Amino acid sequence: MTSTLTPVRKRSALTKGQLPKYAPYVVLGVALVLGAAILALIGFNAFGWGVVSAILFAAGLVGWSAAVEGSRKAKDKLATCLVVGAFLVALLPLISVIWTVMVNGIPGLLNPGFLGTSMNGVTGVFDNRAAEGTGPVVGGIYHALVGTLQITLLATVISVPVGLLTAIYLVEYGNDRPLARAITFFVDVMTGIPSIVAGLFAAAFFFAVVGPGTKTGAVAAVALSVLMIPVVVRSSEEMLKIVPNELREAAYALGVRKWRTILKVVIPTAISGIASGVTLAIARVIGETAPILVTAGFATSINNNVFGGWMASLPTFIYTQILNPTSPSNPDPSSQRAWGAALVLIILVMLLNLGARLIARVFAPKAGR
């Protein structure tokens, strides 16, 4: 008797005054066609087509929405268009860089011996032959790879203890004392030091202490650690700060000394964040060029001793290969090697970032029943 019959209607009263779901696709299609037509009038290019179509799409969708849905929904659509647009603008250079390096770098990387040989004995004669097509592109980045890994490793070995201990002082012992405030201030200043200044500092320091003309991998490592320490301090400081005070108090209440509390409770709790911060700091300095040029010089042969002799690194290798090609009349083999080295460098940084995520996951405090 009292059964209510649902009136059969095509659209619910609650969804009245909305654009259909396919609206954005329709507008996108129209915008693309219109954009192509407008660009055809003034001379077609892909970049202009994208820009004009994007503007037309935003204007069309917002206008349609304003007509059907009212101003609130139209503003929402406009904001969405702006946010997505900004995201695309930010993403574009990144994809472009990766694409360019991949396209230019893969031929060099696929060269036999690229990762396993150095530039020792590779002269313009070989490059000229390669350019004429009568010989292979020879030479590789082994010496630069060894240099980069050794210099960065040594810089990490210097920076992590100094940076971590500074952060521990600031968070656990500093108590906002004048010394702690001064350290915080100078760490901030150090973050902004141009990398070439760090290189000059390390070079001048070793000239004064060891002797004029001292250029070794170790000098470069000192220069890089000047750049790295503030990053390590800042990231470790933030990580130590978010360790809840309750955990420290819990340890104190068990009669545990402060240094043991820091070593066994605070640092293990923060270790995942500290480790990923350190990895990101390494990624930040591994691509530095200027400080290495003035501190480690440039080498074409393999130097396994970080404490003696000039040393190559990937960034300085790229720099010299582009600026002073091995064969000045045929720079193509050199630039192929430079792009290959650039690809290897990007892969290294990417691996470091993946490593940081992995470390963060492995060390993270586990929850679970």
Partner 1 sequence: MSKRIDVKDLNVYYGNFLAVEDVSINIEAKSVTAFIGPSGCGKSTFLRTLNRMHEVLPGARVEGEVLLDGDNLYGPGVDPVTVRSQIGMVFQRPNPFPTMSIRDNVLAGVKLNNQKISKGEADALVERSLRGANLWNEVKDRLEKPGSGLSGGQQQRLCIARAIAVEPQVILMDEPCSALDPISTLAVEDLINELKDQYTVVIVTHNMQQAARVSDKTAFFNIAGTGKPGKLIEFAETSTIFNNPSQKATEDYVSGRFG
Chain residues binding partner 1 by CB under 8 A are 175, 244, 246-257, 260-261, 264-265, 268-269, 365-369
Residue partners of 310: CB distance under 8 A and separation at least 6: 215, 216, 296, 297, 298, 299, 303
- Token match 């007509």: residue? 67
Minimum distance of partner 1 from residue 172's CB (angstroms):
11
Minimum distance of partner 1 from residue 261's CB (angstroms):
7
Q: How far is CA 172 from the centre of its chain?
A: 30
Minimum distance of partner 1 from residue 264's CB (angstroms):
5
Minimum distance of partner 1 from residue 245's CB (angstroms):
8
Minimum distance of partner 1 from residue 277's CB (angstroms):
18
Query: How many CA atoms, within 13 angstroms, populate the side-chain half-sphere of residue 234?
Result: 15
Minimum CB distance to partner 1 smaller for 270 or for 290: 270
Minimum CB distance to partner 1 smaller for 266 or for 283: 266
- Tokens linked to 161: 């203890």
Residue 230 main-chain phi, psi, to 5 deg = -60, -35
Which of 335, 300, 294 is CA-nearest to residue 318?
A: 335
What is the identity of the amino acid at 90?
Answer: A
Minimum CB distance to partner 1 smaller for 36 or for 362: 362
Query: Could you tell me if 137 and 336 are in contact, meaning their C-beta atoms sit under 8 angstroms apart?
Result: yes
Minimum CB distance to partner 1 smaller for 122 or for 265: 265
Which of 356, 157, 167, 163 is CA-nearest to residue 243?
A: 167
Minimum CB distance to partner 1 smaller for 224 or for 243: 243
Minimum CB distance to partner 1 smaller for 11 or for 177: 177
Look up residue 215 and give its DSSP letter: -
Minimum distance of partner 1 from residue 246's CB (angstroms):
4
| Region of residue 308 (left: phi > 0; alpha: psi -120 to 50; beta: else) | beta
Minimum CB distance to partner 1 smaller for 194 or for 244: 244
Query: Buried b / exposed e across 244-275, counting CB within 10 Å, b at 16+?
Result: eeeebeebeeeebeeeebbeebbbebbbbbbb
Task: For residue 5, count CB atoms less than 10 angstroms from its CB and return exposed for 0-12, middle for 13-18, buried for 19 or more.
Answer: exposed
Q: How many Cβ atoms sit within 10 Å of the Cβ of residue 116? A: 10
Minimum CB distance to partner 1 smaller for 41 or for 253: 253
Task: For residue 166, count CB atoms less than 10 angstroms from its CB and return exposed for 0-12, middle for 13-18, buried for 19 or more.
Answer: buried
- Token match 């290019």: residue? 45
Minimum CB distance to partner 1 smaller for 137 or for 270: 270
